[in-house]
Amino acid sequence: QVHNSLHRSAMKYGKRNAEMQARMEAFADNFIKYKDMKKKINDIVECYKEGGCCAPGSSSPKQRSRLMQAGCRQEFMVLLETSQEHVFKFMDESITRLNERLVSTMQRIAAPMENNERVLEDASAELAGFCRDTENIALFAYHNTKGFRKVLKKYSKKVGVDLAPLMIHQFREQELAWDDAFYQMVVAFGDAHKALRASFERQASGSSAWKPPASFERTTRKYLVQIRDIRKVELLIAEHLPVLVIGRKAVSAGTVPDDFLHVSKEAWISSVYFDDNDFSLYHGRIKRDEGARLFRLRWYGHFREPPDDGEVFVERKTHHESWVQESSVKERFALRCDKVQSYLTGVYHHSESKEKSALIGTSLADEIQSEIMEKELKAKVRTVYKRTAFQRTDSNAVRISIDTDLSFVDEAVYSANGDYWCQPVPTGGFQSNQIVTFPWAVLEIKLTEGQPDWIEQLLGSGLIHELHKFSKFAHGIASFQEASGKLTVMPYWHERLKDLEGGSYDLASGFGFPVCVTVGDSPARHGGDQSLSTGTSTIGDMENSDRPTAPTPQLHLRRRLQAKARRWRRRMTLPGSGKNEGAQVEKGGVPKRPAKIEPKTFFANERTFVQWISSVLSLVAVSLGLQGLGDFIKNDVITWVGVILNVMAVMWMCYALYIYLHRLRKIKRADPHGWDLYLGPVMLVVILGAICVMGTLSLLATHYAAGTITWTVAAEPLLASAGCAISRRTDFPELDIEPSGLVYHPQRRSVFVVSQGMMYELPEAGGAPLAAYAMPGLDLEGVAFDPAIPNRIIVAHEGTARQSGRLHSVNLSTSEVGLFMDFENVTGLESFRPEAISFCPVSVCGGGSAHYMVAGTDRKVHVIRVETDPIRAQSHQGILIESFDATSMLCRLAGRCKEQINKLSGLSVTDDAIHVINDDDTRELWIFRLNTTSSTRSISSVDIHRLPNVPGWEGIIVRDIPDAAGSAGGSFTVTLASDDMAFISEFKLTASEGLISRCASVPTV
């Protein structure tokens, strides 16, 4: 984003031209007359429109228009040619003066002298000045040639006449000539510094011969350089490393080379890369698969195809990952050009050659030939570039190469015909769709030892931008085959570099790092510290001339501290964090390098995921334990803490899965950024801490506010009493009795009560159980009795979160328990979870099949008709007959329309009423009276009675109490069961007095 904003906001050339002239005041008169030529182009356009600006004396309008147009064009051409000659002349004169200065300095260094140290310091300052002026002239040449191209483009666009074919050839010839001159100056500049270093080293300790080691290992890193910065980078490198010219004669110290300023230009390097039709080699190299291979043909010295007797190298590169403990391998052998085509087709075998080297066996040639034929490899892309190499002759610690004029040629279409192994260069050049030019230079740094300080300064200058594992082969394939649909992956740098082609001046300017270094600050003189002099220049201030020419101790100290700080930041910066290399990349606009992908990276991601899941399982265990504890001791605070922790565990598990998949995608994309996700862990800690604090505070508040929980029955209306307890917890053999449903069996004169997994038969008057029926695994909430079948009891199982409720039957004779009905099979009640059940008399629900009423968490009372299931003979089929909402009925009959209840916990049906328990905070008994005067039953009114202030009322039995004459006297016996307090009490219910105790005295529970 930083780069894109710079790219979009790049200033226009006209404004930049004025700024450059202001900076280079000494060169201002020699700049391209861009503003004048732009104005002249606008005048030509006006001539076309108006016909009266250039030749006012013409006789006819048509003749006057033609004369005016010709005059305008003639004036523009004169101005263009004059400006062109002026720039060309200035460049030739400047190059000549620079060459003379460099020759003079070299002669002073090479000449014998008495006061050697003083002379060498002066020569060092002269070379620094030469470096500065050469950079300025190179930038002048780049800027003005770019201006001429823009003028021709503007002329073609506005006037409609393309002058490029006429003029561009002259510009190109001059550019090539200047390019050769600058190259020779860079070589000579390196020679001068080499001689200067040799003189200093002789004074310091004398010279010693260096012998190259038999074997060594190198680390290689690749960078991109903008075209306008090439000379600047070359001069900086040449100050420390001379240009390596193949075949050049060695020169002894103290002498000027014979070819000083006359070294031939860099050699062309051409390579043809092979792949199959599916581009499997390309994909292997891009993904950096272990053992991925690359095949190419390479030749030197020609950008066209080599002559028949020329030498072509057949190369195979094999990539090895670091985890296999092997280094990547590059193998090659030489082959005559006229044998290449027959070698690729299998007609010629390398073993037939009589000139093969004894050092290279035929096995490599045979292996490569068989692989090319088996995989049906064809030429796909060609690369052509010029290479300048830098390396000292007395050390191989540092080797740097710069590849310029890089172009890619599409060989895929031509090689499909199979006529020849590479495409001949046409006379007029390749078509635009066959060739892609690379608008950057590729710099490669190879180190065998530590990184010198001047390399660190080069890396921090902003002139070069790292492009990790850049591949010319991959970039060429991606450039030509992007739209073919055959490539599944693209190089990480490809799209970004496409956006950067033709980048602006502001792309990487203003870094403020020195470019040239004087040899006067050599290691021999400053104890190994190679500092920079103040006579250097930067992109921002290189045109200024009022600079000191001698280094100061304060400047040396400041730069040493800066170098140490940069080294410390590199050590402390984590790989892929983007805090060191990312800064250069952001300013330079080059994509960041990807992280190296190894199998252990995937394993580490999986181990991290497993560790997260282990923590989640521990949290789940704690949460389930707290829920069980809270349920056992009847503490809602602990239960809710456990529930919240369980929800937190699920969220944590989902976050762990997200992190695993997120990092897996980053590993596959080789993305080095965005790994440090801190929001998730922070949120987990905050939420867990909040849960712990809230749970602790709630427990403390409950403890100090409530103290010991007791219910005391006072001698006041029975609204606060617990009735007459006919059965207590101590009457049962198990301490976890939780009575949740009651039913009276008139034939056996006993009460059946259900609890968690158990059903007990109690005496009518209360006391210890007469019988117990075990039903393990069933959460029993209600019990009912059909008078027509006295030997069977129906119990209601609440179900689970994944299972709907069920009704089970208990045979009182055999104690057998069987499935009676599954609510999942009842239409309309598929997910119903019953809390209470009661048999519905014939007087209320009608005859025929048996009917039951059930109530639960949906606040409704449902009427179900039970029939024998024709498919499952052992079970019954339920049919939902009718339902009514208790809260809606309460609103209509009693005007209480704001009731919000959780569930109906008790249900009992008599001949004229439906009794429902609401055990929320109000703790009420609702009696819905039925209309018995008509043949159909309907609810006509509702009575509301407060229940005793005891939690957990769930079971209810309503029976008539006979009067002295033996008939019903209008009062009832109501038996209630408390789930929470684990006791059963009896009350007397009258219309006038409500619920009153049946005991002589009110007990304390």
952 near 919, Cβ under 8 Å?
A: yes
| pLDDT per residue as tens digits for the range 505-519 | 333 332 222 333 333
H-run or E-run covering 286:
helix 280-287
pLDDT at 520: 36
H-run or E-run covering 371:
helix 362-374
Residue ranges of the chain whose pLDDT lies below 50: 1-10, 52-60, 63-64, 115, 204-209, 356-359, 502-557, 568-589, 593-595, 706-721, 735, 964-967, 1000-1005
711 near 1005, Cβ under 8 Å?
A: yes
Q: What is the Cα 591 distance to its own chain's centre?
A: 15
Instruction: Please state at what angle helix 280-287 crosses helix 472-481, rounded to 10 degrees.
Output: 130
pLDDT at 941: 87
pLDDT at 348: 87
Place of tokens 């606040």: 859
- SS3 state of residue 36: helix
Token readout for 929 is 């009276």
Q: What is the Cα 361 distance to its own chain's centre?
A: 49
pLDDT at 576: 40
pLDDT at 512: 28
DSSP conformation letters of 293-344: EEEEEEEES-SSPPPTTSEEEEEEEE---GGGT---EEEEEEEEGGGHHHHH
Token readout for 817 is 């328990």
Query: SS3 sequence, 643-684?
Result: HHHHHHHHHHHHHHHHHHHHHHHHHHHCCCCCCCCCHHHHHH
User: How many C-alpha atoms does 379 have within 13 Å on its Cβ side?
Assistant: 27
pLDDT at 722: 53
Q: Are strands 792-797 and 806-811 parallel, antiparallel or unpaired?
A: antiparallel
- How far is it, in rounded angstroms, from Cα 584 to Cα 495? 19
439 near 503, Cβ under 8 Å?
A: yes
H-run or E-run covering 988:
strand 983-990
Q: What is the Cα 712 distance to its own chain's centre?
A: 65
Nearest to 236 by CA among 505, 78, 457: 457
User: How many C-alpha atoms does 943 have within 13 Å on its Cβ side?
Assistant: 16
